[in-house]
Amino acid sequence: MAGERVDAEKAAEMVGGLRRMFESGRTKEYEWRMAQLKSIARLIDEKEKEIMEALREDLGKPEIESYLHEISMAKSACTFALKQLKIWIKPEKVRSSVTTYPSTAEIVSEPLGVVLIISAWNYPFLLSLEPLIGAIAAGNVAVLKPSEVAPSTSSLFAKLLPEYIDESCIKVVEGGIPETTALLEQKWDKIFYTGNGKVGRIVMTAAAKHLTPVVLELGGKSPVIVDSNVDLKVAAKRIAVGKWGCNSGQACIAPDYIITTKSFAKELVDSLKITLERFYGKDPLESKDLSRIVNYNHFSRLTSLLDEKYVSDKIIYGGKRDEKQLKIAPTLLLDVPHDSVIMKDEIFGPLLPIITVDKVEDSFAFINSKTKPLAAYLFTKNKKLEEQFVKNVSAGGLLINDTVLHLANPYLPFGGVGESGTGSYHGKFSFEAFSHKKAVLSRGFGGEAKARYPPYTPAKQKILRGLLNGNIMALILALLGWPRE
């Protein structure tokens, strides 16, 4: 069955039907959640070839990259949720206070209701499924809107998801701007959007009309600080694979630019050149291990960055492009102007500027002069510099001596800060992103304290003040029925 194409009227009808399903209580049942998660895991196993083919058609992804960065990570997220769900849904017992004694207190995780997930094109399989896994684990009904920029993967979801999971509670809507606009006009209980800041603002504006909470997974210019005190061969490989081995730089946490010292720049550049030739050969445009640019518009955007005045002469490696293949070779640029477009906007492609500073500590001020990135990286053996980095650099996530791998730890939240996003997910954080933490306090009919009721005599006020200040004697007196009336 193909994914639904909706206008405002059809979207309203669909959301109404989903809300009725949610109110029936079906999705709140532990058994329903587990059944859906098991079916998603089975889909990933049984349809691996079709998934890889869709990713190849959309992005020219090498099979190993599709498996490592999308298929295996989606499967891991699903497996983790299956193992942890019983723990996640268990009410969390918390302490009571003197003022509520005797009582018991707990925090209950409840599903939010009807949620909308708008996915991105660069990792179209993973970035659709992982939030959906969180929404299902939390007990919601959901609409998934895959990106139209990755049409093969979008069509694959529209075809396969209804075959595996409960179609009455989980819908797939295909289409572009008109369909997304129609969806955003509806009242949701949560909107989860992955993409860029421009559309993120549109999503947040639409959500504000209904006071709908949002998670915005955006991006930003993720910096890499490289100290001279490093294992340079290892650092160069980890930077290169994080940049060009992640969808040819079309990743929200791919290194966007490097900062290093003037004295160390040549050594670093030489090591990166050697590494890139080892990875992709003398003619990287012919490499089967390098993804293509997603479409002509993005290809044109990236080439315009290279062709900007005062930037093109800063290319020190690469720069070749093939419009027919939509490929751009891994490209290094040294000391581009700070006010150039390539240093203002997120690059989202295989271009890597290198900025030099007098001393490595100067890089902190440079990073903090820009909007907060989704990720920031540091390569060093200097523990004091590492501590300064963690203390002084604000980003969605930090990683020392590697790139992008923090994404793979389900015990860490993944999300942005400031203009790189709001909210987080992965592992239990995905479950929490689609849950409400409901406070529950329970008391019996004993333990009456007369002091809490009018009329408020001076003696009662004294006991109440003692209770509010945590005075045990005041509690004892209150429970004994003092003051006597």
Buried/exposed 109-139: b ≥16 CB within 10 Å, e otherwise: bebbbbbbbbbbbbbbbbbbbbbbbbbbbbb
Kindly state whether residue 408 falls inside one of the protein's structural domains. Answer: yes
Task: Dump the DSSP string for 124-192.
Answer: TTHHHHHHHHHHHHTT-EEEEE--TTSHHHHHHHHHHHHHHS-TTTEEEB--SHHHHHHHHTS--SEEE
pLDDT at 460 over 90: no
Per mean pLDDT, which range of 370-374, 387-391, 477-481 is the poorest? 477-481
pLDDT of residue 448: 82
State mean pLDDT over 88-108.
93
Three-state DSSP at 86 gives: helix
State mean pLDDT over 449-472.
84
Q: Are residues 189 and 229 in the same domain?
A: no
Per mean pLDDT, which range of 82-91, 94-103, 112-121 is the poorest? 94-103
State mean pLDDT over 149-171.
97
Q: Are residues 158 and 240 in the same domain?
A: no
- Sign of the CA dihedral 94, 97, 101, 107? negative
State mean pLDDT over 39-67.
97
pLDDT at 1 over 50: no
Q: Across the chain, what does the average pLDDT equal? A: 95
Q: Are residues 228 and 356 in the same domain?
A: yes
State mean pLDDT over 327-333.
98
Q: Are residues 197 and 248 in the same domain?
A: no
pLDDT at 207 over 60: yes
Q: Do residues 118 and 194 make contact, with C-beta atoms less than 8 angstroms apart? A: yes
Three-state DSSP at 346 gives: coil
Q: Rounded CA gap, 345 and 123, in Å?
A: 20
Q: Are residues 173 and 133 in the same domain?
A: yes
Q: For the chain, how are helix, strand and coil distributed in percent, rounded to 5?
A: 45, 20, 35
Q: At what angle do helices 177-184 and 8-23 cross, to 10 degrees?
A: 50
The β-bridge partners of 4 are 173
State mean pLDDT over 429-445.
96
Kindly state whether residue 3 falls inside one of the protein's structural domains. Answer: no
pLDDT of residue 24: 98
Please name which of 249, 261, 469, 255 lies closest in space to residue 361, comparing C-alpha atoms. 261
Q: Are residues 366 and 431 in the same domain?
A: no
Q: Are residues 255 and 397 in the same domain?
A: yes
Task: Please compute Rg for the chain using Cα positions.
Answer: 27
Kindly state whether residue 306 falls inside one of the protein's structural domains. Answer: yes
pLDDT at 476 over 80: no
Q: Do residues 357 and 338 make contact, with C-beta atoms less than 8 angstroms apart? A: no
Kindly state whether residue 2 falls inside one of the protein's structural domains. Answer: no
Q: Are residues 190 and 128 in the same domain?
A: yes
Three-state DSSP at 321 gives: strand
Residue with more model confidence, 485 or 380: 380
Query: What is the tally of structural domains in the chain?
Result: 3
pLDDT at 182 over 80: yes
Q: Are residues 87 and 185 in the same domain?
A: yes
pLDDT tens sequence across 129-148: 999 999 999 999 999 999 99
Question: CATH number, domain at 307?
Answer: 3.40.309.10
pLDDT at 280 over 50: yes
Q: Are residues 468 and 391 in the same domain?
A: no
State mean pLDDT over 38-42.
98
Q: Rounded CA gap, 281 and 321, in Å?
A: 15
In degrees and rounded to multiples of 5, residue 356 shows phi and psi of -110, 145
pLDDT of residue 485: 61
Confidence band, pLDDT 50/70/90 cuts, at residue 463:
confident
Domain range for residue 125? 8-218+426-437
Confidence band, pLDDT 50/70/90 cuts, at residue 247:
very high
pLDDT at 2 over 60: no
Q: Rounded CA gap, 152 and 147, in Å?
A: 10
Q: Rounded CA gap, 98 and 469, in Å?
A: 9
Three-state DSSP at 359 gives: coil
Question: CATH number, domain at 214?
Answer: 3.40.605.10
- The residues annotated as belonging to the active site are 217, 252
The β-bridge partners of 258 are 224, 354
Q: Are residues 234 and 212 in the same domain?
A: no
Confidence band, pLDDT 50/70/90 cuts, at residue 187:
very high
Q: Rounded CA gap, 217 and 111, in Å?
A: 21
Q: Do residues 246 and 343 make contact, with C-beta atoms less than 8 angstroms apart? A: no
Per mean pLDDT, which range of 75-79, 298-302, 329-333, 480-484 is the poorest? 480-484
State mean pLDDT over 10-29.
97
Q: Write down the residue that tokens 């979207």 correspond to.
A: 11
Q: Rounded CA gap, 384 and 362, in Å?
A: 15
Kindly state whether residue 444 falls inside one of the protein's structural domains. Answer: no
pTM: 0.94
Q: Are residues 190 and 265 in the same domain?
A: no
pLDDT of residue 221: 96
Buried/exposed 371-400: b ≥16 CB within 10 Å, e otherwise: bbbbbbbbbbeeeebbebbeeebebbbbbb
pLDDT at 12 over 90: yes
